[in-house]
Structures are given as C-alpha cells and as structure tokens.
C-alpha cells in the first residue's frame, strides 16, 4: 500500500500541510515502511511465548508469558504527521492480532480521505476500518468499550480520552507533547548543531511537531554567536526569502495561524524578534522566526508553540538550564548540544522527558529499539518496534504444574510444625526448609 | 472549625492532602529517594519490620479477618519478605540503563533506556490481604526511587492502624506516609496530582480512580478481580486436584481473594466423583463442624456476610446446595459450601463471589467450558486441571485471563518472574518482581550522537538528487546507497 502509493501520499500531505516531498518521504513514508518491514521480520519472534524462570517454591513447574491480542482497539490520530501517526500505531495493533478502528484527524482531510481509500483497497475491512469525522464522530467512538485506545494529540483532549476510557476500564496510550527544549553549550561544532536544530524545527513540518525543538536555552555569552549561525544556516537552507521557499511546510489552518500570531504579537515579545517575523495570512505562511529573551511568563513560553517561532532563553551558566526545564511540565523530548561529558551525564540524570537526544534532534524516534512515549503531561505508555506489539498485547502469565510432589504441609489442619516448614519453604528456599525439617528453624 | 469529631486528629481534607503531596514532592526533588543507599535502607528496614513484628501483624490479621496464623505468616508476611529480598538482591541490576541497538540510519550513535522514578505515587490497598497488598506495591515504588503515600483499607482497621504505626517507626517518613481513612480521605487524595496511582480493589471504585487520574494525566495500575473459573477434566489425580482447589479457595482467606477459584466447570459425568472427593477432603481439612475450625478466616464484616447469604438464599439456587450452607451471623462465619448446577442467570453466577461458596457448573463435553468462560468478562485468573496435552494447549490459546495455572490454583503469585495483573474488567498493568520496579518507573529513551558524520543531504534546499540519496540511505541499505551515489537509483 505504501510502496504503490508514495506519490498519492506525498500529494495528500502537500494538500494538507504544503509538506515538501523530501519531508513527506523522510519523516512519514519511510518511517511507516520501516515500521512495517520490522514487524514483518520480527513478528514470529514477538509472538512466541517468553519462558519465565521458576523457583523452588513451586517446584516442579514451568512458566511462560504469552502475548495475546487485546481485541478491538481504537487508534485516534493527529494532523501534523497524519499518515505516519495513523499507520504506525495500526501496524502495532495488527502485529499483535487485534481488530482496529482508525480515526484520522479532520484537520488533515486529504490524508484522512486517502487513508479511507487505501485501507479499503489493501486491508481486510472485516477487521480494520477507518472512520472519518470530527468531534461528534470521535465522541461516538469514545462512548464505546474498546480493549485499548491509542491517542496522539493534545493534553486537553488526552484527558477527555482517558476519562471516557475510565468508564470501561480501557487501558490507554497517550502520545502528547510539551515544550521540547534544546540546550546549546558553547563548546560545540556550531555549524552542525545549528543545522540539526533547524532540522528539528523548521524541517519538521515547520515546527508543528510534538518532538520538534520548541525553544533553545544557551548562555548570555554564546547567544549572539548562535543567532548568527542560525541566521546563516537558515539562509542556506531556505534562501533569502523563506516565505517563498518550497522546502518548508505552511501553517496547517487559520486557527493555528491566528494562535501563532497572537504569541508573536504579545507586548514585550514582539520587540524581542531578532530574525524573521514575516507572515502571510492568505497563504498561511510564517517565516522562521527567532526571539531573544522573551519574558518567562509570556504566552510563548507557557504554551507548546507548535510553529516556526523559536525563543532563545539565556542563562548565566549552561548548568542553570536544567532548573529552567524542570520548572516546566515534562516534555516529550529534550535535547542537549555539548562536548562536555559531565554535562551530558548531568543532563541525562537530572532532566526528565519522554526521551532525550545528545547532539542532535528528533532522530531518536527512528531508533526502533527505543520506546517512544511521554511522561506526565507529555503522555503515558509508548510504542515503536516491539513496544508497539507489546502496547497492543496482553501479557498473560501461565504456570504449569504437575500432580507430583504435593506437600501435605500446605493443607489444613494447620499445625505449628507445618507453619514453620511452610514459612521456611517460602522465605528461605529449600535449604531453610531442610533445616526446619531437622528442627533448626528460627522460631 | 474544630468540632467534637476532630478531638483526636485533624480531618484529612483536600487541603491536608495537597499539603502532604507538596511535602513529599519537596523530598523527592531533593533527590533523597533516588539514591541506591536510601532504597536499600528502606527495603532492609521493611524486612526488619516484618521479622520483629510477626506476632503483632498476625494478631492484627486475626482481629480484622480471623485469618489463621499460618496464612498470615506464610502468605502475607512470607510473600512480602520474599518480595523485599528479591528487590534487595536485584535493584542494583534494575537501575542500570539498558543498552539499545542502533542502526545505520543514525550512525554513529549509541542508545539506552534509563529507568527513572516517577515522583510521588499513591498506593490504595484492599482489605483481604491488607498487609501484603499494601506493602508489596510499596516495595516496587521504593525500589524504583519514588516517594509514596499509602492508603490502607478501613475495612481492615487493625491492620491499617498497625501499618501506620510500623511505617512511621521503620521507614523514612519524609518520603513514605500512611493515610488512614475511608471515602472522604480517599477522595481528598484522589483530587491531587500523583505521578502514578496503584489501586487494588473492585471494578466500580477502579473506574472512579481512573477518572480522577485522568484529570491529571496520571497513569494507573488497577488490580481488580473477577470470577476465576476452574475447569476440571477427567483422568486426573482427583485427590491432589481437590486439595489444591480447597487450598486456593477456603485456604485463601476463606474464598475472599481476587485469585481464588470462584466456580468450577466440569462434565455431568465427572461431577459426582468430584463432589464426593471435595466433601472428603474438606472434612479432612476442617473437620465435621467447619464453623468451629480455627483454620478458616471469617467473613470480613456483616455487609459481606449479608451479601453472601443473599447469594445462597436466592430461590433458584438454595435448593442446589450439596454440601455446607451453615452460617453463624454472630461470629460472621459461613461454612465451605458447594452448589451444583446453578442457573447461569443466578446472582451467584453473575458477580464475583469473594466468599466460601463454590458453584459447580456442568457441561456435556469439557471443551465447552472454554466458551462458557469466554462468554463472561475476563477474570484475574483461570485454572485447568487436566493431563491432556491438547486440552491444555487449547486452554492457554483460547481462554483469556490475567494469568493461568495448569493443575494448581493461585500459586502463580509466588513466581516473581511472572507479571501479576488483569486484563479487561480484571484490571490493567501488572507487578511482582521486576514488574513492580517497572510499574513505578519511567523508561526514558536516550540517544547519543556525535558531531562527526553530518550529511549535507539531510538539509534543504531539497534537490532531486538529495531525495534519491536519502531514500536509498533510509530505505535500502548500503547497496542502494552506492547505486544512488553512482546515479543508478530508482527515484
């Protein structure tokens, strides 16, 4: 389905987001393909029961953990990577043997519609279905009893989804967002760091990505150098007129455009723009914009930006950046650029986020051996690779015993010596029990 | 203001709960609970607490449940001590980050998964194993480095009170606290933002807990229950099977356990022999007047006693009692009772019994029992007694439950390499062994890259060349890359 319809998928993404073909391929199509290929390759291993070691207390016995499908699951997708974030969870659900309903986002209608057609044509519609729609359709779906719900989107709606799930005791995975910070230390290869920040911001659906770099923290001393480097690299990437570059997505809708404008135009924020700021409401385009040292309590530093605006916050010492990050809700990702080994260690130990990357941005989501998910406000649960299979499975414990070796000490009437022996067996294992049998137990 | 009810202790309201959480959050922020030494000290102290207070704990359990001393010592204290020991032995391994393999796409890079504590967590315990079900999750929360509030059940007040006293004496109360109380106190706690809530109890309250958690996006583990069935095939060692069923039912707090066999399914042909063997073994264990046996817990309170007698006295059921049925309201005792062939739509077959009543349902062929089980909600456990390989395989394949045991009951709880938890109505999440540590940890993904090897093809402006190369690199492996570089790509 993916291979035969690459052009159609890229076109739908272009219609919905003006997503450049390169991005469509790199970030959505190829990731979806890899996900499928991995599942195909590994499925037979994933499906095998996992042996579990047993101990003397249940001897003789053998144990295993069996992965079973949960049943009928609901995947609610989102608009910014509408193809990948629909297909990737569905791959996990199918790999784990479930029936699936997919609800793509109505904010990316071309992709939503394409998904309906493609799924209908390529997949088994007796078990895999797409339901298009907006709030009423989603609410109707959320009233049902599902065996699992995987939701990608905002924390606000995440709460609604979990509350609906609670009525049926449906377990959920919530892939949300947050303000993903990038700390830039002074002892770095500035050109590479800057390019990678650009890749993780404006090359990611023009900043409209849950793991995109939301804001940068650097030292007061280093900020001018960083800004200059960003200025130069941005021009290399998008030209002198970024508003006309074909290599950058537009803002998805008028709603979001207005929201971003409001962030930019706030008092004490609008005068902090050091680069960019251009916008075109008709075309829903906004240029890469950098702001320096906006007030901590400004809206742009409270909300997840989800757009092409990059505030740079300065601190005295790069170490101070950790407190700044930890004073905000835990984000989905956090980034650090440095060559200082101790700083890396301190960062990994002391900053909490869904995931972290040292010296790059966003790429950790392509490593399928790493769980992709948030913590606290940025979400719960995770997927990718085998984690997707596990996300949609019930891990059933199975213990096998035989009729041999039945100890009467287990049964009433309970006597003092039975008690002693049982206690020894459970707490101290066979040696303790033997001691107890010979009469040497602790009591 | 201060009224007559508040004479002895301040009311634990929402403000008090909020202050408590803030205090624990400060403790957590100080980093104290993250240290390996702190975790080990708490776990060692918990062991000491069990060793030094065995008599007191058994006495509290006797007061709350008339629990026989052997059950208290072996199944509550013994299991808990084991849990502590496993954690003490393994936590140094559990906290080591797990390396993750990386591929060519992010070369050069290295990756790992780091377990971090979640923060401040809430454990809400139950009344039937008040000691074990409070402290076993606590072992996991401590091992994972969290600060914890424990809310024991008010339906087991002696245990609740003892827990409160003991934890203050043995554990670090700047990070671990017990809040006693009932609905009001629990509601006050549930309004707060926790980093995780671990609840053991019933489905009705679980929905309330999860809805409260949803307001704060707090992940939950819900350990619930259900009707755990036992399928009994012919051609088995019936004496051993019966004993194991008795041990799992009446030997487990007199049937008041979430994994107790709730009901039996067997064939019409086999039932008479089964009933006879059960009767014999029951008499051997509990004597001719089981109401007087010291080896049986009582029913926890008059609410549950009334609930159970209602199940027994229903018209369509009361005539099906083939053994037992005696009861004594004063002492809250009900004798081991077996019912044969009760109707599917009886009350006793439509709620978790949680007591000493054992219905036996009959089928023509034993294979029919699987459909019968699957027609109900998924239980926490399901059991099969059989020597037939094919039947065992079919059982494991087609019956869904939290956990399964072949040829025994309830003992899977003692295997700490198996996750203990439910599915569907019987719960979500799991614990025991390393699963406890994982339940209270955030698995943080970390990828390390260097500045070397930065490919210009990653960045705009995007040319057709770049698109071709990137496609090859990501999709096709090294051969396709070479082809693309030489200009032979598919693009």
Say yes or no for a CB contact (<8 Å) between A419 and B449: no
Model confidence over B403-418: pLDDT tens digits?
Answer: 999 999 999 999 999 9
Over 70: is that where the pLDDT of B295 sits? Answer: yes
Q: What is the pLDDT of residue A408?
A: 80
A412 and B251 within 8 Å at the Cβ level: the answer is yes
pLDDT at B3 over 60: no
- Least Cα distance to B363 among B275, B268, B234, B273 occurs for B268
Q: Which residue of B has its CA nearest to A344?
A: B448
Quote the CA–CA distance of B160 and A72 in Å, as a whole number: 40
Task: Tell me what the mean pLDDT of segment B478-483 comes to.
Answer: 60
- pLDDT of A35-47, one tens digit each? 999 999 999 999 9
Question: Which among B105, B295, B462 has CB closest to A413?
Answer: B295
- Minimal Cβ distance to A380: which of B85, B111, B217: B217
| Residue % of chain B over a pLDDT of 70 | 94
> At B353, phi and psi to the nearest 5?
-70, -50
pLDDT digits (tens, 9 = 90+) for B81-101: 999 999 999 999 999 999 999
Which residues of chain B are within 8 Å of residue A22 when distances are taken between CB atoms?
460, 462, 466-467, 470
Residue B318 has pLDDT above 60, yes or no: yes
Percentage of the residues of chain A whose pLDDT score is greater than 70: 96
Q: Which residues pair with A372 in a beta bridge?
A: A383
Of B415, B424, B450, the CB nearest to A147: B424
Q: What are the C-alpha distances in Å from B99 to residues A44, B117, B439, B446? A: 23, 18, 20, 10
Place of tokens 């001590």: B81
pLDDT tens string A252-309 = 999 999 999 999 999 999 999 999 999 999 999 999 999 999 999 999 999 999 999 9
Q: What share of chain B is helix, strand, coil (3-state, %, to 5)?
A: 50, 15, 35
Nearest residue in B to A34, CA atom: B475
Distance from CA of A420 to the nearest CA of B (A): 9
Q: CA-to-CA distance for B233 and B225, rounded, in angstroms?
A: 24
Please give the model's pTM, rounded to 2 decimal places.
Answer: 0.95
Judge contact between A183 and A218, C-beta under 8 A: yes
As a three-state string, the secondary structure of B116-155 is EECCEEEEECCCCCCCHHHHHHHHHHHHCCCEEEEECCCC
State the nearest Cα–Cα gap between A150 and chain B, in angstroms: 14
Q: Do A30 and B203 touch (CB under 8 A)?
A: no
| Confidence check: pLDDT of B328 > 90 | yes
Closest Cβ opposite residue B285 in set A239, A379, A413: A413
Query: Which helix (H) or strand (E) element contains residue A285?
Result: strand A285-286
**Token digits of residue B184:** 């009001």
Residue A313: φ, ψ to 5°: -100, 135
Nearest to A20 among B251, B293, B462 (CB): B462
ipTM attached to this prediction = 0.95
- pLDDT-derived band at B475, boundaries 50, 70, 90: low
Asked if A348 and B446 come within 8 Å (Cβ–Cβ), the reply is: yes
- Contacts with B462 from chain A: Cβ below 8 Å: 20-22, 246-247
**What separation in angstroms does the CA of A45 have from each of A35, A327, B99, B152?**
16, 42, 20, 42
Q: How far apart are CA A213 and CA A362, in angstroms?
A: 8
B186 SS3 class:
helix
Name the minimum distance, in Å, from the CA of A267 to any CA of chain B.
Answer: 31
Q: What percent of chain A clears pLDDT 90, i.e. is strictly above it?
A: 87
Query: What is the secondary structure of B93-122 as a DSSP string?
Result: HHTSPEEE---GGG-SEEEEEEEEE-SEEE
- Chain B residues whose CB is inside 8 A of the A358 CB are 446-449
Write the class of the CATH domain B2-224+433-443. alpha beta
The CB-side HSE value for B234 (13 A sphere, CA atoms) comes to: 13
* Whether A248 contacts A242, CB under 8 Å: yes
Q: Contacts of residue B195 in chain A, CB cutoff 8 Å?
A: 376
Q: What is the pLDDT of residues A343-377, one digit of tens each?
A: 999 999 999 999 999 999 999 999 999 999 999 99
Percent of chain A that is helix, strand, coil (3-state, to 5)? 45, 20, 35
Is B111 in the A-facing interface, judged by CB distances under 8 Å? yes
**Which residues make beta-bridge pairs with A398?**
A64, B404
Q: How far apart are CA B353 and CA B359, in angstroms?
A: 10
Indicate if the pLDDT at residue B488 is higher than 60: no
Q: Which range is least confidently modeled, A414-428, B33-47, B127-141, B165-179?
A: A414-428
* pLDDT range class, residue B282, cuts 50, 70, 90: very high
Q: Min CA distance, A87 vs chain B (Å)?
A: 17
Given an 8 Å threshold on Cβ–Cβ distance, is A413 in contact with B215?
no
Kindly indicate the confidence band of residue B120, based on its pLDDT and cuts at 50, 70 and 90.
very high
A7/chain B closest Cα distance in angstroms: 11
Q: B120-124 and A355-358 as β-strands: parallel, antiparallel, unpaired?
A: unpaired
Answer yes or no: do A367 and B106 touch at CB < 8 A.
yes
**Bridge partner list, B333:** B328
Give A137-190 pLDDT, tens digit per residue.
999 999 999 999 999 999 999 999 999 999 999 999 999 999 999 999 999 999
Q: What is the dihedral sign for C-alpha B247, B250, B255, B257?
A: negative
B 189-208 residues with CB below 8 A of A?
195, 203, 206-207
Nearest chain A residue to B238, by CA: A403
Q: What is the homologous superfamily of the domain B229-421 according to CATH? A: Aldehyde Dehydrogenase; Chain A, domain 2 (3.40.309.10)
| Both structure tokens of A98 | 């479930």
Q: Is B103 left (phi over 0), alpha (psi -120 to 50) or beta?
A: beta
Give A429's pLDDT tier (boundaries 50, 70, 90): low
Mutate to test the interface with A, among B121, B418, B480 (most CBs of A within 10 A): B418
Q: Is A314 helix (H, G, I), strand (E, B) or coil?
A: strand
Closest CA to A106 of A60, A75, A137: A137
**Of the candidates B225, B296, B269, B278, which has an alpha carbon nearest to the alpha carbon of residue B65?**
B296
Q: What's the CA gap between A89 and A135, in Å, rounded?
A: 21
Write down the pLDDT at residue B460: 84
Position B362 pLDDT exceeds 90: yes
Q: In what order do the strands lie in the sheet with A379-380?
A: A128-130, A99-103, A72-76, A148-152, A172-175, A379-380
Question: Which residue did the predictor score with more confidence, B464 or A317?
Answer: A317
Give per-residue burial for B384-421: e unless 16+ CB within 10 Å, then b. Answer: bbbeeeebbebbbeebbbbbbbbbbbbbbbbbbbbbbb
- How far does the CA of residue A223 sit from the closest CA of chain B (Å)? 20
Cβ of B415 and A356 within 8 Å?
A: no
Question: pLDDT tens for residues A120-145?
Answer: 999 999 999 999 999 999 999 999 99
- The catalytically annotated residue of A36, A180, A204, A210 is A210
Instruction: Out of B243, B447, B466, name the one closest to residue A406 (CB).
Output: B243
Q: Do domains B2-224+433-443 and B229-421 have the same CATH topology?
A: no
% of chain B beyond a pLDDT of 90: 87
B3-12, B327-336, B345-354: least confident range? B3-12
Using CA atoms, how far residue A218 sits from A275, B254, B352, in Å, is 17, 64, 59
Chain B residues whose CB is inside 8 A of the A399 CB are 403-406, 408, 411-412, 415, 418
Does the pLDDT value for residue A92 go beyond 80? yes
Domain limits, chain B: 2-224+433-443, 229-421, 456-491
Q: In what order do the strands lie in the sheet with B381-385?
A: A50-52, A61-69, A393-401, B403-406, B381-385, B229-232, B263-267, B357-363, B337-340, B321-323
């Amino acid at each position: 389905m993916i291979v035969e319809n690459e052009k159609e998928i890229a076109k739908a993404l272009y219609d919905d987001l003006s997503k450049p073909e390169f991005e469509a391929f790199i970030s959505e199509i190829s990731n979806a393909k890899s996900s499928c290929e991995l599942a195909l390759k590994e499925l037979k291993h994933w499906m095998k029961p996992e042996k579990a070691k047993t101990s003397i207390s249940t001897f003789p016995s053998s144990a295993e953990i069996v992965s079973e499908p949960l049943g009928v699951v609901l995947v609610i997708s989102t608009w910014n990577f509408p193809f990948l974030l629909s297909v990737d969870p569905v791959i996990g659900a199918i790999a784990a043997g479930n029936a699936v309903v997919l609800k793509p986002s109505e904010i990316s209608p071309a992709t939503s519609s394409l998904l309906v057609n493609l799924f209908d044509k390529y997949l088994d519609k007796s078990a895999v279905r797409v339901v298009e729609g907006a709030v009423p359709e989603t609410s109707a779906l959320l009233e049902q009893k599902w065996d699992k719900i995987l939701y990608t989107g905002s924390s606000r709606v995440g709460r609604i989804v979990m509350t609906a799930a609670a009525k049926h005791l449906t377990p959920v995975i919530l892939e949300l967002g947050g303000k993903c910070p990038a700390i830039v230390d002074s002892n770095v290869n500035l050109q590479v760091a800057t390019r990678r920040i650009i890749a993780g911001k404006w090359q990611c659906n023009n900043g409209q990505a849950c793991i995109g770099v939301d804001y940068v923290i650097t030292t007061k001393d280093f900020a001018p150098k960083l800004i200059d480097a960003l200025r130069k690299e941005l021009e290399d990437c998008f030209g002198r007129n970024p508003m006309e570059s074909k290599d950058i997505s537009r803002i998805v809708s008028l709603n979001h455009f207005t929201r971003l404008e409001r962030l930019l135009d706030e008092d004490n924020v609008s005068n902090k723009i050091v680069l960019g700021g251009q916008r075109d409401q008709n075309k829903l385009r906004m240029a890469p914009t950098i702001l320096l040292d906006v007030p901590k309590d400004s809206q742009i530093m409270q909300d997840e930006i989800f757009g092409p605006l990059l505030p740079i916050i300065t601190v005295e010492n790069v170490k101070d950046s950790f407190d700044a990050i930890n004073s905000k809700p835990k984000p989905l990702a956090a980034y650090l650029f440095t060559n200082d080994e101790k700083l890396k260690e301190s960062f990994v130990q002391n900053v909490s986020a869904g995931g972290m990357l040292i010296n790059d941005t966003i790429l950790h989501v392509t490593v399928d051996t790493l769980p992709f998910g948030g913590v606290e406000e940025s979400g719960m649960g995770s997927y990718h690779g085998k984690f997707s299979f596990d996300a949609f499975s019930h891990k059933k414990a199975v213990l096998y015993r035989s009729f041999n070796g039945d100890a009467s000490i287990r049964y009433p009437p309970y006597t003092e010596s039975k008690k002693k022996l049982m206690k020894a067996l459970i707490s101290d294992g066979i040696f303790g029990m033997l001691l107890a049998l010979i009469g040497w137990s602790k009591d | 203001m201060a009224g007559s009810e508040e004479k002895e202790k301040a009311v634990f309201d929402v403000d008090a709960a909020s202050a408590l959480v803030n205090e624990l959050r400060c403790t957590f922020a100080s980093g104290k609970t993250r240290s390996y030494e702190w975790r080990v000290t708490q776990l060692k102290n918990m062991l000491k607490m069990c060793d030094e207070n065995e008599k007191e704990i058994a006495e509290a359990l006797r007061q709350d449940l008339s629990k026989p001393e052997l059950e208290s010592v072996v199944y509550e204290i013994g299991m808990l001590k084991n849990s502590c020991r496993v954690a003490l032995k393994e936590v140094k391994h559990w906290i080591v980050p797990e390396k993750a393999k990386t591929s060519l796409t992010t070369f050069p890079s290295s990756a790992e998964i780091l377990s971090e504590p979640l923060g401040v967590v809430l454990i809400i315990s139950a009344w039937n194993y008040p000691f074990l079900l409070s402290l076993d999750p606590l072992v996991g929360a401590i091992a994972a480095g969290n600060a914890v509030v424990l809310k024991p059940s008010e339906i087991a007040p002696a245990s609740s009170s003892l827990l409160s006293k003991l934890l203050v004496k043995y554990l670090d109360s700047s990070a671990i606290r017990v809040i006693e109380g009932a609905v009001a106190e629990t509601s006050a706690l549930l309004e707060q933002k926790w980093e995780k809530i671990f609840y053991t109890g019933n489905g009705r309250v679980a929905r309330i807990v999860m809805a409260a958690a949803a307001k704060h996006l707090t992940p939950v583990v819900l350990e619930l229950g259900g009707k755990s069935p036992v399928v009994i095939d012919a051609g088995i060692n019936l004496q051993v099977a019966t004993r194991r069923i008795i041990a799992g039912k009446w030997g487990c707090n007199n049937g008041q356990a979430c994994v107790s066999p709730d009901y039996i399914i067997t064939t019409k042909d086999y039932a008479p022999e089964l009933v006879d063997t059960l009767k014999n073994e029951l008499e051997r264990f509990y004597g001719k007047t089981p109401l007087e046996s010291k080896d049986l817990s009582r029913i926890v309170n008059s609410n549950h006693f009334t609930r159970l007698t209602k199940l027994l006295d229903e018209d369509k059921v009361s005539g099906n009692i083939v053994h037992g049925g005696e009861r004594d309201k004063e002492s809250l005792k009900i004798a081991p009772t077996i019912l044969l062939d009760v109707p599917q739509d009886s009350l006793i077959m439509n709620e978790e019994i949680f007591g000493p009543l054992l219905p036996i349902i009959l089928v023509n062929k034993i294979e029919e029992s699987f459909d019968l089980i699957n027609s109900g909600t998924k239980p926490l456990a399901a059991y099969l007694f059989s020597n037939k390989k094919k039947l065992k395989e079919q059982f494991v394949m087609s019956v869904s439950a939290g956990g399964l045991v072949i040829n025994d009951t309830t003992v899977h709880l003692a295997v700490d390499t198996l996750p203990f938890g439910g599915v569907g109505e019987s719960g979500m999440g799991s614990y025991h062994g390393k699963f406890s540590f994982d339940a209270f940890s955030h698995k943080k993904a970390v990828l390390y890259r260097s500045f070397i090897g930065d490919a210009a093809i990653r960045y705009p402006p995007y040319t057709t060349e770049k698109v071709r190369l990137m496609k090859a690199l990501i999709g096709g492996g090294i051969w396709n890359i070479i082809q693309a570089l030489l200009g032979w790509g598919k693009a």
